Amino acid sequence: MIAFAWFMLMIWPVVGIVLFNKLSLPLACCVTVIGGYLILPQGLGLDLPILPELNKSSIPALTALVLATLKILQLPFLLARRVFATPEAQRVLLLTLIISALVYTLPALWEIRLSPQLHRQIYGYFTGSFFQQLRAGGFRPVVFVGHGLGLSIFLSFAVLAAAGFYRTADMRAKAKWVMVTCWLFIVLVLTKSLGAVIIVVVLLPAVLFFSPRTQLLTATCISGLVLTYPLLRAADLVPVDRAMAFAESVSADRARSLQVRLDNEEPLLERARQRPVFGWGGYSRNRVFDAQGRNRSITDGSWVLEIGTGGWIRYLAVFGLLCWPIIGLFLSKRDRIDPTCTLLALLLCGKLVDLIPNSGMVPYVRQMAGALVGRLEIKLADLKREGASQQVLIGRANPLGYARRFGASSDPEATEAADPALAAGPSGPQYTRATHKRHVRKK
């Protein structure tokens, strides 16, 4: 069984080659990264000296990076930033998320009924703690994700994405998307993860009823709160008492789980304050030990782990990379933001909320962030091109010195590329009164 797990890890680059030869570039990247996250064995990897560990997170990402580099002849800074920048490619990303979640509901239901056993039966071992998957007299499904919480968050994103497609679909397709959304939500509830259900309940009205501009405003507010969460927590501005009261009203198990997180975060946050800028580094120096040298810390939340090991520098680098594309899109011209882009922003801010009580920086989350960064950069490039075109127009329409004032280009080739009708100047044969009126009207 272990040999089969190693075989699956090593064969995935070959699978990627087949996918990139058969599918379009965005779809091949989606299937390579998301498929590897959902199928490959958890907790197994090749830890070579100096190099990063080759596991289910790094192998699909590196495979997609290398193959996409060969296919587009250009090395991108981030794969998703290059491939998923357009609305069409982002729709492919969301559709892949939905379809893979629909396929995953079948083994998830099997494990809900018979306990999480598929990883052990197929790969020969079980990762994590089996008792953590016991909940409400039943089981949380794990399949090949590694933890029930990770699978529930993945399904919650699929529910929100399907609801977004329902809103933008035509009347003939709306019934299909209603069934898909309801089915995914039912399976999500059966996974018995309260946090994932709360994320859907909170963000679903924004997906269904808010305008794209209001959706982006909602995502920006959530991103700002997450980015400043350590400050809010240190200043006792986070309503932990209300959160405890809500957890107790749901069940005693939820309350105990939340209390364990809060009890461990306080000493970890206090230790992080001793080195706030660069943190304590690795080798568990960010943790709290007793007099006998035993570890007494449990780092559930990604925020306390990042700020403890790397201080504010690492926290802003990790969470800022996820928050910046949302905030940047909000600060840019919002009338050009399409519904697919704002839907991705809402999904990403849902994961940001999940990273406060839980850990799990999985590859498809970075893929969503990279898609938004690429969309933001394409948008800024479009604005620059339009600005340059307008500068050329103003300069040629005002030959008596206005070109220098407005910074228009003096290069005839650049001017002709921007507007052939104006390349000959105001006295040229192509320049007419109708041409002048048309350009003034466009301006």
More confident residue, 287 or 68: 287
| Residue 377 pLDDT grade (very low, low, confident, very high; cuts 50, 70, 90) | confident
Distance (Å, whole) CA 423 – CA 415: 6
Q: Are residues 338 and 392 in the same domain?
A: no
More confident residue, 298 or 402: 298
**116 in any annotated domain:** yes
Buried b (16+ CB within 10 A) or exposed e, 275-305: beeebbeeeeebbeeeeeeeeebebbbbbbb
**234 in any annotated domain:** yes
Separation of first and last alpha carbons in the chain: 67
Question: HSE of 49 in the Cβ direction (CA atoms, 13 Å)?
Answer: 0
What is the tally of structural domains in the chain?
3
Contact (Cβ atoms closer than 8 angstroms) between residue 372 and residue 325: yes
**43 in any annotated domain:** yes
H-assigned helices in 117-251: 118-123, 148-168, 171-190, 194-209, 212-227, 229-234, 240-250
Give residue 433's pLDDT. 46
Q: Are residues 189 and 253 in the same domain?
A: no
What does the pLDDT look like over 96-138, one tens digit per residue? 999 999 999 999 999 999 889 898 888 888 887 777 788 777 8
User: Which residue(s) pair with 289 in the sheet?
Assistant: 295
Give the residue from 209, 237, 258 where a domain finishes: 209
Q: Are residues 283 and 318 in the same domain?
A: yes
What does the pLDDT look like over 329-360, one tens digit per residue? 888 766 567 889 999 999 999 999 999 888 87
Give residue 378's pLDDT. 77
Distance (Å, whole) CA 316 – CA 205: 29
How many residues does this entry show for the chain? 443
Q: Are residues 100 and 221 in the same domain?
A: no
Q: Does residue 51 sit in helix, strand or coil?
A: coil
More confident residue, 204 or 390: 204
What does the pLDDT look like over 391-409, one tens digit per residue? 443 343 333 333 333 333 3
Distance (Å, whole) CA 289 – CA 226: 28
Give residue 344's pLDDT. 94
**41 in any annotated domain:** yes
Give the residue from 181, 209, 237 where a domain finishes: 209
Q: Are residues 11 and 49 in the same domain?
A: yes
| Residue 148 pLDDT grade (very low, low, confident, very high; cuts 50, 70, 90) | confident
Give residue 46's pLDDT. 84
CA distances from 379 to 25, 252, 273, 337, 376 (A): 21, 49, 39, 9, 5
User: Which residue(s) pair with 135 in the sheet?
Assistant: 138
Q: Are residues 346 and 417 in the same domain?
A: no
3-state secondary structure 392-443: HHHHHHCCCCHHHHHCCCCCHHHHHHHCHHHCCCCCCCCCCHHHHHHHHHHC
- CB neighbours of residue 199 within 10 Å: 25
Phi-psi region of 424 (alpha: psi -120 to 50; beta: other; left: phi over 0): alpha
| Residue 293 pLDDT grade (very low, low, confident, very high; cuts 50, 70, 90) | confident
Give residue 161's pLDDT. 96
Q: Are residues 197 and 219 in the same domain?
A: no
Q: Are residues 353 and 389 in the same domain?
A: no
Nearest in space to 90 (alpha carbons), one of 411, 443, 377, 342: 342
Give residue 243's pLDDT. 83
Q: Are residues 187 and 205 in the same domain?
A: yes
**368 in any annotated domain:** no
Domain containing 230: what range? 213-361
User: Which residue(s) pair with 138 in the sheet?
Assistant: 135
Contact (Cβ atoms closer than 8 angstroms) between residue 377 and residue 85: yes
Q: Does residue 56 sit in helix, strand or coil?
A: coil
**38 in any annotated domain:** yes
pLDDT beyond 70 at 53: yes
What does the pLDDT look like over 55-86, one tens digit per residue? 888 889 888 888 877 665 733 345 677 778 88
Question: For residue 53, what is the DSSP state?
Answer: P
Phi-psi region of 83 (alpha: psi -120 to 50; beta: other; left: phi over 0): alpha
Distance (Å, whole) CA 323 – CA 390: 32
DSSP-based helix, strand, coil % in the chain, nearest 5: 70, 0, 30
Per-residue pLDDT, averaged over 154-170, amounts to 94
**Which tokens in the block code for residue 302?**
């990604």
Q: Are residues 356 and 417 in the same domain?
A: no
Give residue 379's pLDDT. 56
Distance (Å, whole) CA 153 – CA 159: 10
H-assigned helices in 23-86: 25-39, 58-72, 79-83
pLDDT beyond 60 at 424: no
Contact (Cβ atoms closer than 8 angstroms) between residue 373 and residue 78: yes
Distance (Å, whole) CA 192 – CA 187: 9
Q: Are residues 203 and 217 in the same domain?
A: no
**434 in any annotated domain:** yes
**374 in any annotated domain:** no
Q: Are residues 240 and 345 in the same domain?
A: yes
More confident residue, 83 or 227: 227
| Residue 221 pLDDT grade (very low, low, confident, very high; cuts 50, 70, 90) | very high
pLDDT beyond 70 at 94: yes
Give the residue from 310, 330, 361 where a domain finishes: 361
